[in-house]
Structure 1
Amino acid sequence: MRMFRKTRRLLALSTLPGLGALPGLGALPAWAETPANATELPDLVVSASRVPVATDKVGSAVTVITRQELETRQVREVADALRDVPGVTVTRSGGRGNQTEVYIRGAKSNQTLVLIDGIEVNNPVGGSSFDFADLMTTEIERIEILRGPQSALWGSDAVGGVINIITRKGKGAASAHGLVEGGSLGSAHVEAGVNRSGAGGRTHYALGASYSRTDGISSANSRRGNTEEDGYQNTSVIFRGDVSPSENVTLDVAGRLVSAVLDYDTFSADPALGLQRATDADITEYRLQAFGRVGAELRAFDDHWRNRLDFSVTDYNSRGEEDDLWDYTQNGTKVKYAYQSTYEADTTLGVAAHHTLTGLVEHEKESVFYKSNWSKVAPDVESTGLVAEYRVDLFKRLSVSGSVRHDLNEMFDNATTYRVTTAYTVPGSETKLRGSVGTGVKNPTLFQLYGYTSTFRGNPDLRPETSFGWDVGVEQPLLSHRLTVGATFFHNEIDKLIQGSGVSADNVSGVSHINGVELTASAEPIDNLRVAASYTFQKAEDAEGKNLVRRPQHAGSVNVSYRFLEERANVFSSVHYNGERQDSTYDLSYASGRTTLDGYTVVDVGGSYEVVKDKVELFGRVENAFDEKYEELFSYGTPGIGGFAGIRFKL
């Protein structure tokens, strides 16, 4: 039975049915008031349009997490930062390094597009989803989470939304930074980086690296009799740079290299339980990820006309083995070419207006290579996308955008999607109103089509999923901006949803519906005391009225941060709640079923003190302070209480 273990893990995790921030606080909507010192970047959102847009002009629901927040809360993994975001659910199959999936507003993990410095990093060999397991926060400047259908801007993978990650850009004189941390489970984390700008601001570079390791916990839940530790190591190198040889030309490059080693457990039969479940195994996986992009921008007519060329490559390689009994090798590659042209103009006829018109053409090729003891396949697919977007800003308070995209697909029918947004700030009250509506298309993945593992057969007759969604939101500052509250209502429909049946995948007839509300509040009742809270209610059902798995109906978070001793000391607390939700099970013949997982609350606390102001900081935290026992996925373990401490420096 060991020969099926890799397949069962992939099946259990990837093809199951339903397949403005304030410093030191949980992430808040980007259209909330944000202190000027919260980030070094301009108050712009990159992913909400094909061009950067001011936060008060964004019509879609978007949340921004800044580097200052990541440092204040001592967040080491991007997935942990996302747990505070309204409408976002994070699941991990065990301890650090195990498969980590993100669901936005009930959409499947492979319906969320992830960008890192403009590189699309969804993994072709991993079902076109992005596994957050190996993504550290090293060198990250900000994270944008754009919710709702975005296919008209970003293509097939953006049905649920977009997560856009931007790394540090060189600024000012040469500087260095780093940290050293140790803690529970034999954990250690080290990172360092340098950055600089020169030549009168015409060159910038930033280089960073990190090493992280842990002895880990048993990926299979130890409370079910599994005691073997599953360790993890991660080495990451990040680079970003640009040079402007002339006033109107900029050349830029970005890259990320990740090497990781993970011990993980299998998903195998338990005759006593009558189900497949996670159990101890001696399986090791070696991963190598390389993401790169080179680009050039030409500006003309006083920067009113901007033309950009980009070439990017995403390459995943992994190899797994169990005690020399079996092994597999897999590679997934995405190559992309893009040309974008944007023209901006102001008009004063009748009413002052600012216009932005953008056109884009892009071509991509995805390819997969998979070889194991049982199979060898190498499918690929190509597509071309054509995008047009128009934005207009009126009265300095009203912004409207419309976009349309036409995809030329090699395997499927060509598809057209659209998106319309609006944002308005009410004079006097500063009430911010916004709304968006759009459609999306998600093509079947190469794994779903070809089924290149031993127990999962592909279905070449699968059809693309289509979606329609809208949201409306309001945000109101009160008490001289000491308090800000917000609410967003959303509705998504997904037609021809692709669900795994245990050994294959099929389109489900009918329309799945996801409805919900996101509530946020942030307050600074006294100077340096900041409180943020969010709550999400979502009802996610398939066409038969059954709950989509792994989508809790209730979720929320509360974050508190207080700075004192002339702002050299900081303490914080984070509370995360996920309510009861269903997960998939498989019996001994792989027939699918359901189980209900209990809700849980996890509390983290920590603090820091600057021994040398703005230079040297001591910090520490306790994760899962009350040692909550819970499962994010059926039969997989989660870490108990853990302590961590370290030192951070800036030169």
Structure 2
Amino acid sequence: MQNKTTLLALSVSLAMLSPSVYAQNDTSNEQSDPLNIEKMTVVSSRISLPTNRLTTSVSVLDESDLALHVGLSVAELLRQTPSVGVSNSGGLGKNTVVRIRGEEGFRTKLYIDNVELTDASSPQVAPIFDDVLIEQLSRIEILRGTQGLSYGADAGGVISMYSKQAATGFDASGTLSIGSFDTQGLNANITAGNDTGNVFLSASKIESDGFNAQSSDESGEKDGYENQTVHFKGQLALTNKIDASLVFRNVDAENQYDGCYDNVTFALINQCTTEAEQQTIRGALKYQGKNSQHQIAVNKTDVERDFFNNGEFGFSNSGSTDKIEYLGSINWQQHDLVFGAEKETQKIDESDLKRDQKSVFAEWLGQFDNQIALNLGFRIDDNDTFGKHNSVRVGAAKVVTLDVADVKFKTSYGTGFRAPSLYEQSYNDGPFAYGEASGLQLNEENSEGLDIGFELNNRQGLNAEVVFFKQTIENEIVFDLVGFQGYLQTAGESESKGVEANIEQVYSSGFTIWANYTYNQTEDNAGEVRLRRPKNKFNFGLRQSWLNDTLNAELTYRNVRNAVDIAGTELDDYQVTHLSAHWQLAEYISFKAGVNNLFNENYQEVSGFNTAGRNFFVSTTLRL
């Protein structure tokens, strides 16, 4: 234990000097460039920008990071990035909440190929992380904090994922995976492209017996999971300036879990199953001019969930989100103007509840002498029920060029609001609310966030970032987890504040060392610690490549401490170690293998729900 504590202290000291591989903003064709500050990213303002123009804080996972990830779910990989916390309730496919800088999981925006994945039938219109599979992805960008002006006033952070890119010609691959808990996965990807267009098609099926999800279930029964996903992305050039694109995604999932109620006796039971179908489609037309681009898109997401108790149908939830949006940008020398408008309609089918929200925004992004970057943005949202609200984002960055390194100082500030969801208000107006919550008319939440920090990138492969942040939520809406009255509105402010520190050092020998540390102090309006937000989270990794980068191995270590659950119950402090390797044996075949939780740590990150012990994973990919 003493050795582990010493290692942790040493690594945290290093982390306070600079950031990890996961803070790099790499693109696949720029990995040889030692100055990370010049890499490109899209997630901050929805247009491609070099990172020396970003005033916000962004993390990027590229294809090499995904290739070394051991497992099928993307949530475990997100845990390795700064300020991203994940709470999973019992294994693969179970309820997964992803929080950024301590904000609620439903404030995290999730996109895949520019399609927002949200469940309108859930209590707070939450993102759908449970069923996202990693084999279909090639890149993940994470905007940390509440500065997501162009994504919506309620964005507490944005995670934008991209499927594999279609290149000229034809490529097909198949991946077979097996792992502990009788887990089996099969994935097939096809890409094709030429001068007039390209397509990507992926189909996946996974099955897992899982493990006993809830510790109170003493039967020892396993809670399994099945998932069938089809993802399509296509683009067609109609003229030399106009192209059309289509994204279609369909997920059929079946999840077994513990803790539902018998239809007849209403007794608490553990033979519970959810069958869910998620279908999303997005069609867009884009005009690309010499110095401008304009895009109009239509998005539709439908989610239906059927719940079965003891094998008998219990009830169903379904909802839809329809959105029509316009996004434009104009570039003039080193200045960009990004602007857009959208209309979003959310609907819960069972209650015929429906709400529209119309929004417009504009943001100016300027750069001066390649050293100073400024941005100023304004957003207006008009909600059917809660009226008009204004939001802003401002930021500044300055790059100082030294003999051996570039240092960027940055700061950004943003405000926002969130209207009560259809479910929250309808619950209080329904028969199950009582006491203070019964009939309570909820008001909108207001938020603001500030971060300030620096990035350092030198010519010897060292990349560094330290960021201080503070975020507040006023009039936060919470469900009464003690008396179960319903949804209540808190007076005062809830707060998250802390520091993110990252380090990465890449050596010419192919060896990389990286680490990141997040200190996050959270308080609700009463001064109590907010639930399931660790105060301390530390990641550390060692990566080595051999044989011209065809063989790669990585050892990662994560330490999570000081989190509480309902009624102040202290959650386990835990530390887990993962080991993985990826071998590109030939152009047409590769292997991946590894072990998660190498030392079989026993812990809970949601009180009463089990986590996986030591588990193994092996996969092979064949490519035509």
Fold-level match, TM-score > 0.5? yes
Q: Aligned letter for 1:423?
A: A
Q: TM-score of the superposition, structure 2-length normalised? A: 0.90
Q: 2:501 aligns with which of 495, 505, 519?
A: 519
Do the aligned partners of 2:147 and 2:449 also contact (CA within 8 Å) in 1?
Answer: no
What per-residue deviation string (whole Å, max 9, x for no partner) do you get for residues 496-544 of structure 1? 0111112311111011221100010001245111111100001000122
CA separation of 1:425 and 1:608: change in aligned 2, threshold 3 A: same
2:83 corresponds to? 87
Higher mean Cα deviation, 428-437 or 406-415? 428-437
CA separation of 1:185 and 1:253: change in aligned 2, threshold 3 A: same
Q: Aligned letter for 1:172?
A: T
1:272 corresponds to? none
What per-residue deviation string (whole Å, max 9, x for no partner) do you get for residues 243-290 of structure 1? 112111111111111110111111689xxxxxxxx9861111111111
Q: Deviation of residue 168 (structure 1)?
A: 2.0
2:353 corresponds to? 379
1:203 corresponds to? 197
1:366 and 2:363 matched: no
1:219 and 2:213 matched: yes
Secondary structure of the corresponding residue to residue 363 of structure 2: strand
Q: 1:64-213 counterparts in 2 under 5 A?
A: 64-126=60-122, 127-150=124-147, 152-158=149-155, 160-198=156-194, 201-213=195-207
2:522 corresponds to? 540
Question: How many percent of aligned residue pairs carry the same amino acid?
Answer: 24
CA separation of 1:90 and 1:515: change in aligned 2, threshold 3 A: same
Q: Deviation of residue 75 (structure 1)?
A: 4.5
CA separation of 1:567 and 1:137: change in aligned 2, threshold 3 A: same
Secondary structure of the corresponding residue to residue 547 of structure 1: coil
- Matches of 2:226 and 2:94 in 1, distance apart? 11
Do the aligned partners of 1:443 and 1:465 also contact (CA within 8 Å) in 2?
Answer: yes
CA separation of 1:341 and 1:391: change in aligned 2, threshold 3 A: same
What per-residue deviation string (whole Å, max 9, x for no partner) do you get for residues 576-625 of structure 1? 221121111xxxxxxxx23111210111112233332x321222111111
Q: Aligned letter for 1:467?
A: S
2:285 corresponds to? 296
1:488 and 2:486 matched: no
- Matches of 2:77 and 2:505 in 1, distance apart? 20
1:356 corresponds to? 336
- Matches of 1:194 and 1:33 in 2, distance apart? 22
1:320 and 2:307 matched: yes
1:590 corresponds to? none
2:5 corresponds to? none
Secondary structure of the corresponding residue to residue 207 of structure 1: strand
1:555 and 2:551 matched: no
- Matches of 2:27 and 2:582 in 1, distance apart? 25
Q: Deviation of residue 481 (structure 1)?
A: 2.7
Do the aligned partners of 2:26 and 2:39 also contact (CA within 8 Å) in 1?
Answer: no
Q: 1:285 aligns with which of 266, 271, 274?
A: 274
What per-residue deviation string (whole Å, max 9, x for no partner) do you get for residues 306-347 of structure 1? 22110001111110111255511111100000122322223x
Q: Deviation of residue 81 (structure 1)?
A: 1.4
- Matches of 2:98 and 2:592 in 1, distance apart? 28
Higher mean Cα deviation, 563-572 or 406-415? 563-572
Do the aligned partners of 2:21 and 2:504 also contact (CA within 8 Å) in 1?
Answer: no
Secondary structure of the corresponding residue to residue 448 of structure 2: strand
Q: 1:351-430 counterparts in 2 under 5 A?
A: 354-370=334-350, 377-428=351-402, 429-430=405-406
Q: Deviation of residue 26 (structure 1)?
A: 6.5
1:621 and 2:615 matched: no
* C-alpha RMSD over aligned residues: 2.3
Q: Aligned letter for 2:58?
A: V
Note the residue ranges of structure 1 that are not aligned, 5 or more in a row: 1-24, 270-277, 347-353, 371-376, 585-592
- Matches of 2:60 and 2:461 in 1, distance apart? 19
Do the aligned partners of 1:169 and 1:240 also contact (CA within 8 Å) in 2?
Answer: no
Secondary structure of the corresponding residue to residue 520 of structure 1: strand
1:236 corresponds to? 229
Note the residue ranges of structure 2 that are not aligned, 5 or more in a row: 1-18
2:487 corresponds to? 505
Q: 2:419 aligns with which of 443, 461, 469?
A: 443
Do the aligned partners of 1:494 and 1:513 also contact (CA within 8 Å) in 2?
Answer: yes
> How many aligned positions are there?
588
Q: 1:254 aligns with which of 247, 251, 258?
A: 247
CA separation of 1:602 and 1:38: change in aligned 2, threshold 3 A: farther
1:45 and 2:38 matched: no
- Matches of 2:133 and 2:235 in 1, distance apart? 23
CA separation of 1:565 and 1:341: change in aligned 2, threshold 3 A: closer
Secondary structure of the corresponding residue to residue 110 of structure 1: helix
Q: 1:581 aligns with which of 542, 551, 563?
A: 563
Q: Aligned letter for 2:223?
A: D
Higher mean Cα deviation, 567-576 or 462-471? 567-576
What per-residue deviation string (whole Å, max 9, x for no partner) do you get for residues 112-135 of structure 1? 111221122221111211131111
- Matches of 1:336 and 1:427 in 2, distance apart? 44
CA separation of 1:484 and 1:324: change in aligned 2, threshold 3 A: closer
